[in-house]
Structure 1
């Protein structure tokens, strides 16, 4: 409703009386509000203010947009489109004939989740430029600018982001993006909890799981994600990251901060994914035709088979196999 007030004429009075900063008054009304104001003869007191509570189910201030291909998706999934049924009563560029059903319409003063944004056709992303920079965007019809005050949360895989970033034609988008890197989990204890949670939400919840199975899988996953340290064992680094103190066990072990400083900012951005690990765990449970159960011995066997099937580069495959045969298997045997 603050868009109704002219910041030049009413800004000082509203700030003095209600404590609302002048910067909150955008001075931009939605096309719908402009039409209502004309109908009310410019009388702002005839507007009613409705209190809305954000709702994910009803898509009130919380919306989600997914990418499609160029044949079945256009900018209307973001900015809305004309409601054909209302053209019987209104002209095509009338605000009352417009269906405010796009992601930006729904997420105004809220949050818009854009799933796998960089998979979407580049033309579909254009409304995001003005929505983020100028706090408004244009619909599919000549209605006038539609205001947008909200947060756009997009997520993507690392490879797709790097491809998008490398394209010089996307500089306008890149300047408006604030990147937050989300690496894989690097703590064995927390990774084990993730697998346990996934098991509880699956059909394998009641399957027998031998002690140490989830921990072994978590250790393998974390080892694949860590950057090697030239003066320290990778297994020791994994234990230090998990909160253990190894001064009496491994004299070469470093502090967690030293490990992180040496590894750099990209540690945890590659390696075995949690999805791959859970897929291996599911195969392990179903390895025996007579029983739905998992144990460390079967896990190591299934893990080796899965690594070979993935056809990783030779050096990486050798490193993964070495984790199993040189680190995990001997320690389990002990």
Structure 2
């Protein structure tokens, strides 16, 4: 079962090559290609990172006109448009919207229909169906400011907030460092005993705040770690 609608390129190929004179699609003749999810090959995983709003435009998300083919095919012909925007690349997978609230608001509007109706609009073409997970992240201060602005209600209502607090356990922090080392190029290099624990304790102490119930941060750190 096909959910939604085909993209303009696939629809054109279906009409020209796989539809008979009676208008019936010959589905048994349509070739099927298996696609492996890969961020490096831009298959099913897209990434959007905000930059200078004066030089960055919406084409990074929804694609752009191919000027080399427009004269031959016309502006509204699917063959003259590059459907290579990050949202189109992410179709069937997910898109990582890095620091979403640092992006200009014009890049938020396209997410409203993408999140609720699962469609995006490219100039000169009908709305295109997309099936993708939109994953974004930001910090608490920016999110609170965004949430308090009533202009953002449409997008805020379509968000599912997942809080990711700081880790406050030394043992868990050490496990994070060990995982990073095991996946790095220096995993076979000797590290002096206690190095990771000292680094983990320093990191945890920098995240703790003073408490009236505990005399100092070191004691508080040990309490969180289950040592006391």
TM over 0.5, yes or no? yes
- 1:219 is displaced (CA, Å) by 2.1
Partner in structure 2 of residue 43 of structure 1: 24
Partner in structure 2 of residue 116 of structure 1: 99
User: 1:196 and 1:57 mapped to 2: Cα distance?
Assistant: 26
**Counterpart among 61, 79, 103 of residue 78 in structure 1:** 61
Deviates more, 1:68-77 or 1:188-197: 188-197
Q: Where has structure 1 moved over 3 Å in runs of 4 or more?
A: 192-203, 205-209, 211-214, 226-237
The aligned length equals 219
Partner in structure 2 of residue 53 of structure 1: 36
User: 1:228 and 1:171 mapped to 2: Cα distance?
Assistant: 36
Matches within 5 A, 1:1-334: 2-3=1-2, 25-26=3-4, 28-39=5-16, 40-41=19-20, 42-45=23-26, 46-139=29-122, 141-195=123-177, 201=184, 211-226=193-208, 230-233=212-215, 234-244=217-227, 246=228
Q: Is the 8 A contact 1:75 1:125 kept in 2?
A: no
Unpaired segments ≥5 residues, structure 2: none
- 1:206 is displaced (CA, Å) by 6.2
- 1:153 is displaced (CA, Å) by 0.8
Q: Per the alignment, in what secondary structure is the counterpart of residue 95 of structure 2?
A: strand
Higher relative contact order (CA 8 A, sep 6+): 2
- 1:120-152 CA-partner distances (Å, limit 9, x unpaired): 11102211110110011101x211111110101
User: 2:189 and 2:8 mapped to 1: Cα distance?
Assistant: 57
RMSD value, Cα:
2.6
Cα 1:51–1:197 shift into 2, 3 Å: closer
Please report the TM-score for the alignment, with normalisation by the length of structure 1.
0.58
Deviates more, 1:155-164 or 1:88-97: 155-164
Please report the TM-score for the alignment, with normalisation by the length of structure 2.
0.83
User: 2:105 and 2:30 mapped to 1: Cα distance?
Assistant: 39
